[in-house]
């Protein structure tokens, strides 16, 4: 904000009046500050559906997802334990959740073959190029979260199978 107080004119006024009391000088400063018009224009944020621009941190894959026996159960555990932390932007969270819900339903219908879901998510990531709105940014980040969840479920199940094989050898 710009302040239009001319300090030189203020000093000249003070010298003219020859005020010796410091309190009177501060009172003059306060009265000048009250009389000035403040520039109240605010720059429009990049995303028009927010009041303030907030720092948005992508949700990360949880460390503990509970017990699982199949890749789909591991995927479901990762999706169900998503934490948005301190994100307060509703449009971002809505977009993120919509992506998760869409591919969770798709994975539920194809629980035996999650490679199909991986291909669909990769295709949609390639097609999705617009990230100018918070909803679209959340949806796009949600697609990456789904892809990470699918990859993590694959790793978790491979590690589980590897441990069982090593125990039986």
What pLDDT, in 10s, does the model give residues 128-150? 877 778 888 889 999 999 999 99
Q: What is the pTM of this model?
A: 0.63
Residues 6+ apart with CB under 8 A from 118: 147, 150, 151
CA–CA distance, 68 with 65 (Å, rounded to integer) = 8
> What are the respective helix, strand and coil percentages of the chain, to the nearest 5?
60, 0, 40
What pLDDT, in 10s, does the model give residues 68-79? 888 899 899 889
What pLDDT, in 10s, does the model give residues 89-118? 788 888 999 999 999 999 999 888 888 999
Measured at the CA of 166, the angle between CA 163 and CA 169, to 5 degrees, comes to: 150
């Amino acid at each position: 904000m710009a302040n239009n107080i001319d300090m030189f004119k203020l000093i000249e006024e003070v010298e003219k009046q020859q005020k010796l009391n410091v309190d009177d000088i501060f009172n003059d400063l306060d009265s000048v500050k009250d009389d000035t018009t403040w520039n109240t224009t605010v720059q429009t944020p990049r995303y028009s559906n927010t009041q303030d621009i907030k720092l948005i941190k992508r949700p990360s894959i949880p460390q503990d997802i509970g017990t699982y026996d199949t890749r789909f159960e591991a995927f479901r555990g990762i999706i169900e334990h998503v934490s948005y932390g301190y994100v307060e932007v509703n449009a971002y969270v809505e977009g993120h959740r919509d992506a998760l819900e869409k591919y969770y339903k798709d994975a539920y219908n194809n629980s035996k073959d999650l490679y199909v879901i991986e291909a669909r998510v990769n295709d949609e990531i390639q097609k999705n190029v617009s990230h100018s709105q918070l909803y679209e940014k959340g949806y796009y980040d949600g697609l990456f979260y789904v892809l990470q969840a699918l990859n993590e479920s694959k790793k978790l199940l491979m590690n589980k199978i590897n441990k069982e094989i090593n125990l039986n050898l």
